Chain A
């Protein structure tokens, strides 16, 4: 259930990309093994993957690494992912954020509407990869 409308029609400030030129993706999840899977899968797709295991680290890295896209889990160990989502939005209105959770119930939580997409975790990462591509394309063209 993707939210397809473009939130940022006007071009905003653009932070410098990493030297290799490939987009950076920040994955926030407290599950080490899951981070490892995403890291492997997404780097194989050609992305530069950064990971954070809690909300504070995520916010720090969002500023230091200026990722092109954030994949955010909702259940984090010491912070509510939806709160982190709000903070991330304050840092940048432009960076697409994908909520990625084991729960589908948060879809109905209006806070989750701040995200650009909401995907339930699945061993099949095809949908996630497709969503990343779409959002990055949208960002580029935007």
Chain B
């Protein structure tokens, strides 16, 4: 600016040559810049009106001699004039006024003595706006750092913790305390979620001392928010969780904040009816900013300066508002993340089920291979077993009752009987499911099986009752196989009731399925065995081979059904059997059949 003025002045000189001294005097009186002429000893020879007035105003305001503008100008001239070079410096006047001072040494053409021409400008307002700019830069950097940290936060609690830290950290917004309230799941009330801040002045001092000692950047503070939360949040978090404000209370400042989508300061005087809120927060003044996404109200962030009592300024509220805006985005994002996590969870569950399904298939396949092998093995064993057992019987018939041999022969006979029993069961098990399926009533099969077992039941003192719907729809099964399955299940029940008891059989139709329940009052199955009762060769009965229930389950499953058992030791067992109901007659291939291929 300076050289420009020089240039314009020199250009206008030819016209100004004849300019009356009065005009120049007027100019020097009106220009809002001070200028002076002084000797090199600092003695002011001339001051224009602006400078004169400034000096006078200052004197009237009672500024001390040392800090007065005139004195400081004189001192500067005295110090810098001998250098004989133009120079700029600044002067701080009383009451935060700031001046810039430029001095230009001149040689008096008359006696060549050193004189000084000076310009004085009030720059107080410029400095003020510079500091404002600085503050804005500071705020922007806070928001930038907050944004950076929030970007990487995915969990809601993490987001909330970071926001609270940013609001309270000295490097951040610098509030004493901050509270977060979120709209609950049903969308009917604001609920206190999390808070950060000391509960009293002493605690505050301790925390702030330790924080300032660390000399961290805001980003570092935010990243370590967890440790900050752990140390400070106990009491204040209990308080905040008690807060619950129905959204219907539209006069409540927190609800209003969300509805109006703006941040503001609330004082006790303004909001007297809400004294509860002030009582719970134990504060008289607080700032509140809304957490809102595009479509919905998420909650509010409340901040106050309870400990220091520092006034909450408009700038603080603005910053809180912007901070809350950042937080809203992060909270919404965390919601999406949570949804995503849930979806991932559901997929993992589906995956687990598929894996389980394929394991089950593998088991079926293994069982079928096992079936083939055992079938082969059983036939190979049957001949030698027949020979050994047969000769043992033959010898036993002629043996002398008193000889030890007789006992040994008896053992041989008994053991081969057991062996035969195993082989019979293995063969039944590995028998291919005959394609001969018929439409039958399951309850008829139950009754036929029970009829067959009547002598067994009678001698074991077991009473039998059958409950069934009068008109049960038919099932499409191989009756021989299903009778065999029922026989094995009923035999298991008989064995479980050595001292007699009750066998109840219930049947009812459900959509597409027929449910059969077989309940005994026997000694039950202990919990660690429940899962194993259908496993091949598992038994607690020394007389049995452990295939009865395996075969029963196999038969039920090859018919597209399922079997489960529920039991408690001493309380009896209940077998739950499901069989698919027969398809309508026009459908030639029932799905149950297809599954097996």
Residues of A within 8 A of B (CB): 31, 33-34, 36-37, 40-41, 44, 75, 102-105, 108, 120-125
6 contacts between A and B (CB under 8 A): A33-B384, A34-B390, A44-B394, A108-B434, A124-B420, A125-B393
Interface centre among A36, A103, A108, A122 (most CB of B within 10 A): A122
Q: Is B388 among interface residues, defined by CB-CB distance under 8 A?
A: yes
How far is it, in angstroms, between the C-alpha of A41 and the C-alpha of B386 when the chains are bound? 13
Which of A102, A122, A124 interacts with B379 by CB under 8 Å?
A102
Q: Report yes or no: A123 in contact with B388, Cβ–Cβ below 8 A.
A: yes
Q: Is B382 among interface residues, defined by CB-CB distance under 8 A?
A: yes
Tell me the nearest residue of chain B to A34, going by C-beta.
B387
Tell me the nearest residue of chain A to B385, going by C-beta.
A123
Q: Report yes or no: A123 in contact with B417, Cβ–Cβ below 8 A.
A: yes
**Interface residue tally of chain B, by bracket?**
20 to 34
Q: Report yes or no: B413 in contact with A102, Cβ–Cβ below 8 A.
A: no
Cβ contacts under 8 Å, B378 to chain A: 102
Q: Report yes or no: B383 in contact with A125, Cβ–Cβ below 8 A.
A: no
Q: Ordered nearest first, which 5 A-B pairs have the shortest CB separation?
A: A123-B389, A102-B382, A37-B390, A33-B387, A121-B386
Q: Report yes or no: A124 in contact with B382, Cβ–Cβ below 8 A.
A: no
Tell me the nearest residue of chain B to A108, going by C-beta.
B434
Q: Report yes or no: B383 in contact with A31, Cβ–Cβ below 8 A.
A: yes
How far is it, in angstroms, between the C-alpha of A26 and the C-alpha of B311 when the chains are bound? 120
Which of A31, A44, A105 interacts with B387 by CB under 8 Å?
A31
Q: How far is the CB of A50 from chain B (nearest CB, A)?
A: 18
Given contacts A105-B431, A108-B434, A123-B413, contact A41 B390 (CB under 8 A): yes
Cβ contacts under 8 Å, B420 to chain A: 122-124
Q: Report yes or no: B379 in contact with A103, Cβ–Cβ below 8 A.
A: yes
Q: How far is the CB of A124 from chain B (nearest CB, A)?
A: 7
Given contacts A40-B394, A108-B434, A124-B393, contact A34 B386 (CB under 8 A): yes
Tell me the nearest residue of chain B to A44, going by C-beta.
B394
Cβ contacts under 8 Å, B417 to chain A: 123-124
Residues of B within 8 A of A (CB): 378-379, 382-394, 413, 416-417, 420, 424, 427, 431-432, 434
Cβ contacts under 8 Å, A75 to chain B: 379
Cβ contacts under 8 Å, B424 to chain A: 120
Cβ contacts under 8 Å, A105 to chain B: 427, 431-432
Tell me the nearest residue of chain A to B423, going by C-beta.
A102
How far is it, in angstroms, between the C-alpha of A36 and the C-alpha of B431 when the chains are bound? 30
How far is it, in angstroms, between the C-alpha of A39 and the C-alpha of B521 when the chains are bound? 50
How far is it, in angstroms, between the C-alpha of A123 and the C-alpha of B409 when the chains are bound? 13
Interface centre among A34, A40, A102, A123 (most CB of B within 10 A): A123
Q: Report yes or no: A122 in contact with B434, Cβ–Cβ below 8 A.
A: no
How far is it, in angstroms, between the C-alpha of A124 and the C-alpha of B390 when the chains are bound? 6
How far is it, in angstroms, between the C-alpha of A19 and the C-alpha of B593 when the chains are bound? 59
Q: Report yes or no: B387 in contact with A37, Cβ–Cβ below 8 A.
A: yes
Which of A108, A120, A123 interacts with B392 by CB under 8 Å?
A123
Cβ contacts under 8 Å, A123 to chain B: 385-390, 392-393, 413, 416-417, 420
Cβ contacts under 8 Å, B379 to chain A: 75, 102-103
Q: How far is the CB of B397 from chain A (nearest CB, A)?
A: 8
Cβ contacts under 8 Å, B416 to chain A: 123
Which of A103, A108, A122 interacts with B386 by CB under 8 Å?
A122
Cβ contacts under 8 Å, A108 to chain B: 434
**Additional A-B contact list (16), CB under 8 Å, known A123-B387, A123-B392, A124-B389:** A31-B383, A34-B383, A34-B390, A37-B391, A37-B394, A40-B391, A44-B394, A102-B386, A103-B427, A120-B382, A120-B424, A122-B420, A123-B386, A123-B413, A124-B393, A124-B417
Q: Report yes or no: B390 in contact with A125, Cβ–Cβ below 8 A.
A: yes
Cβ contacts under 8 Å, B390 to chain A: 34, 37, 41, 123-125
How far is it, in angstroms, between the C-alpha of A37 and the C-alpha of B49 when the chains are bound? 148
Q: How far is the CB of A8 from chain B (nearest CB, A)?
A: 30
Tell me the nearest residue of chain A to B387, going by C-beta.
A33
How far is it, in angstroms, between the C-alpha of A81 and the C-alpha of B383 when the chains are bound? 16
Q: Report yes or no: A37 in contact with B386, Cβ–Cβ below 8 A.
A: yes
Q: How far is the CB of B308 from chain A (nearest CB, A)?
A: 94
Q: How far is the CB of A137 from chain B (nearest CB, A)?
A: 23
Q: How far is the CB of A36 from chain B (nearest CB, A)?
A: 8
Cβ contacts under 8 Å, B434 to chain A: 108
Q: How far is the CB of B68 from chain A (nearest CB, A)?
A: 125
Cβ contacts under 8 Å, A31 to chain B: 383, 387
Cβ contacts under 8 Å, A121 to chain B: 382-383, 386
Q: How far is the CB of A98 from chain B (nearest CB, A)?
A: 14
How far is it, in angstroms, between the C-alpha of A89 and the C-alpha of B344 when the chains are bound? 71
How far is it, in angstroms, between the C-alpha of A33 and the C-alpha of B390 when the chains are bound? 10
How far is it, in angstroms, between the C-alpha of A105 and the C-alpha of B428 when the chains are bound? 9
Q: How far is the CB of A61 from chain B (nearest CB, A)?
A: 21
Q: Report yes or no: A41 in contact with B394, Cβ–Cβ below 8 A.
A: yes
Cβ contacts under 8 Å, B389 to chain A: 122-124
Tell me the nearest residue of chain B to A121, going by C-beta.
B386
How far is it, in angstroms, between the C-alpha of A102 and the C-alpha of B388 when the chains are bound? 14
Given contacts A123-B388, A123-B417, A124-B389, contact A102 B383 (CB under 8 A): yes
How far is it, in angstroms, between the C-alpha of A120 and the C-alpha of B386 when the chains are bound? 10
Tell me the nearest residue of chain A to B380, going by C-beta.
A102
